[in-house]
Structure 1
Amino acid sequence: MVDPTVANRQRELEEQRQGFVRATVVRTQRPTSARAGDVAVVDATGAITGFVGGTCVEASVREMSLAALESGEPVLLQVRPGDVGRVEHEGAIEVHNPCLSGGSIDVFLEPVVPAARVVVAGDAPVAQALARIGAELGYDMQLVDGEAWHPDDSVAALIAAGHGHGEEPALERALEAGVPYVGLIASDKRGAAVVASLNVDDELRQRVHTPAGIKLGGTSPAEIALGVLAELVQVRAGARAVQEEKDAAAGRDLPEEPRTAIDPVCHMTVVAAEPTLHVEHDGRTVWFCAPGCRTRFLKEPERYAA
């Protein structure tokens, strides 16, 4: 049974549409304080709610969780005693930790990223079909009244499917807010007239996909919705590819690795972020994997400062 504190934290992050990692202990070898089935949640800052082992294990869980959250790929973390080292296997990373008491632990790290939010303005049959099929594709679908709707940063797409009701205000607000995909379901003639009537700059008008969707030849609400969602998938994939090319040209590797530091006592790699143990020494921050390393450093800082 999952600890209520962990379940509440997971629910809180889901409601806030924040990404997190669900860390589950799948195997242990004594001596270890964790047990198979123990679960924790690691948020985007590296803060851990729940228990998956002592502070030495937490240091590795924190580091690998943030990397998994960046990549979006799950990974099996295998923490073993021994000299500092790391071996990457297919789907798994084996980390050696000199601070362990002799046991070992395997933790499955599963990143949970909020689904892209797609807003559909309208309640006609095609709008209902969009909501149904989009949910099957894994999108967070929302049906709204176009007159009353106001976008926020969570919106990935706005599809106007009101057949003349509340389309203009929804389209204008989506364009002004920079919603990545803006589509209008209409005929060629009506779509052009609606776009021409929008109270926005010509540059923004050109961003409206109308008639929205890839022409598959179907005429039923479900077939039209399928074409619109196919276009949305295509546009989003193209935008990701363009961004990756820009990042590569600028010398930025994707995904970006979390900032790390080396524990000066045991030489473990740790995340250089607020949840990690640290002290200020001679004007710089020193990071540690566990309280024992921090205590040893504070007793003899000159020995480890280098």
Structure 2
Amino acid sequence: MSRPDVERRAADLRAERVPYVHATVVLAERPTSAKPGDEAIVFADGTIEGFVGGTCAESTVRAQGIALLDSGEPLLLRISPTPEPEQEAPRADRLTVHNPCLSGGTLEIFLEPVVPAPLLVVHGESPIAAALASLGERLGYQVRAGAGADPAEAAAVVCASHGRDEEEALEKALRSGVAYVGLVASRKRGEAVVGSLDVDEVARARVHTPAGLDIGARTAEEVALSILAEIVAERRRTSGRPVEGRTAETPEAAEQTGTATDPVCGMTVATVETSLHLDHDGVRYWFCGTGCLRAFAADPGGYLAS
């Protein structure tokens, strides 16, 4: 993919709310196949579109990109064919990886996760609904009116319609597994509405009503503030970090961590279907490139013994 192709693809993904990592080569010391300015897009399933180096560099970028997607934090990734001494105290925004598969050059690749803004779906045309939309956008949420919005994409759904079509909206949100579902109502009316929902008791218990934290809110803006504060408090915090040699020693651990050790070169690779792998004696092994895979296939016992 050329740079304009990558830019067009990235624009389409942002419009479709698809998370990805934009990888850009910023330094390439010969001999490397990549050049400064080469770009690629890394998807959550490990698929890569574009070019940032050969199979070994690509595998490293894949593993780091997947690890960064849940945090949304950028990373300057340095890939070296030989171990390098630490020049300064470790930093969360920089990572040096020793990749013995490289042809001899060193690469620096800037990884920028692009994660869609959390989607807030607001049902109703009340003053509280308007205040939620206005304040939500200022806090970085993408806000959509409830009519026609797909709750499956939403981080939060709030009904502030004062009795209009509340049950249907709440049931759709609960069945879609929305993390935060709120109903603006008095405690008495809220309990009646929730009790009438055609869902089980576990799902009913997930409805926040009256929606919002108890901060003594009176105005529509204050109520909206209390609801957004509760949404922020409820949202799950993820811990995306660079993969710093944390590898899986067993297939079960590989499934949990998302990474494994190449048994030939010792490199950390992502355990996704698009990564090279080989099943031997009922165990799946993962590889950074075709060279390591072929070497292992020729003598599995030799590598497993070592």
Please state which band the TM-score falls in when normalised by the shorter chain. 0.7 to 0.9
CA-CA distance at 1:160 after TM superposition: 0.7
1:41 maps to what in 2?
41
Go from structure 1 to structure 2 and tell me whether the alpha carbon gap of 1:60 and 1:180 turns closer, same or farther (over 3 Å shift): closer
**Are 1:122 and 2:124 an aligned pair?**
yes
**Equivalences, count:** 288
Distance in 1 of aligned mates of 2:166 and 2:113: 36
CA-CA distance at 1:121 after TM superposition: 0.9
2:179 maps to what in 1?
180
Alignment of 1:5-20 (within 5 A): 5-11=5-11, 13-14=13-14, 17-20=17-20
2:211 maps to what in 1?
212
2:154 maps to what in 1?
155
What is the CA deviation profile of residues 67-86 of structure 1, one whole-angstrom value per residue up to 9, with x for unaligned ones? 22355443221111226999
Distance in 1 of aligned mates of 2:86 and 2:20: 24
CA-CA distance at 1:24 after TM superposition: 1.9
Unaligned runs of 5+ in 2: 239-251
Equivalent residue of 2:157, what SS? strand
Q: Which amino acid aligns with 1:97?
A: N
Alignment of 1:133-172 (within 5 A): 133-145=135-147, 151-152=151-152, 154-172=153-171
1:105 maps to what in 2?
107
CA-CA distance at 1:116 after TM superposition: 3.0
2:82 maps to what in 1?
82
Go from structure 1 to structure 2 and tell me whether the alpha carbon gap of 1:226 and 1:293 turns closer, same or farther (over 3 Å shift): same
Would the aligned equivalents of 2:30 and 2:104 in 1 still touch at CA under 8 Å?
yes
1:244 maps to what in 2?
none
Equivalent residue of 1:6, what SS? helix
CA-CA distance at 1:188 after TM superposition: 4.2
Distance in 1 of aligned mates of 2:17 and 2:85: 35
1:248 maps to what in 2?
none
Equivalent residue of 1:106, what SS? strand
Q: Which amino acid aligns with 1:138?
A: G
Would the aligned equivalents of 2:260 and 2:286 in 1 still touch at CA under 8 Å?
no
1:59 maps to what in 2?
59
Would the aligned equivalents of 1:67 and 1:257 in 2 still touch at CA under 8 Å?
no
Distance in 2 of aligned mates of 1:262 and 1:38: 26
Distance in 1 of aligned mates of 2:266 and 2:86: 12
RMSD of aligned alpha carbons? 3.7
Go from structure 1 to structure 2 and tell me whether the alpha carbon gap of 1:259 and 1:126 turns closer, same or farther (over 3 Å shift): same
2:230 maps to what in 1?
231
2:98 maps to what in 1?
96
Unaligned runs of 5+ in 1: 242-251
Q: Which amino acid aligns with 1:134?
A: G
Q: Identity across aligned pairs (percent)?
A: 48
Go from structure 1 to structure 2 and tell me whether the alpha carbon gap of 1:258 and 1:182 turns closer, same or farther (over 3 Å shift): same
Go from structure 1 to structure 2 and tell me whether the alpha carbon gap of 1:205 and 1:299 turns closer, same or farther (over 3 Å shift): closer
Equivalent residue of 1:89, what SS? coil
CA-CA distance at 1:33 after TM superposition: 2.8
CA-CA distance at 1:17 after TM superposition: 4.2
Would the aligned equivalents of 2:187 and 2:209 in 1 still touch at CA under 8 Å?
yes
2:23 maps to what in 1?
23
Q: Which amino acid aligns with 2:51?
A: F
Would the aligned equivalents of 2:262 and 2:286 in 1 still touch at CA under 8 Å?
yes
CA-CA distance at 1:55 after TM superposition: 1.9
Q: Which amino acid aligns with 1:59?
A: S
* TM-score (normalizing by structure 1): 0.76
Distance in 2 of aligned mates of 1:182 and 1:204: 10
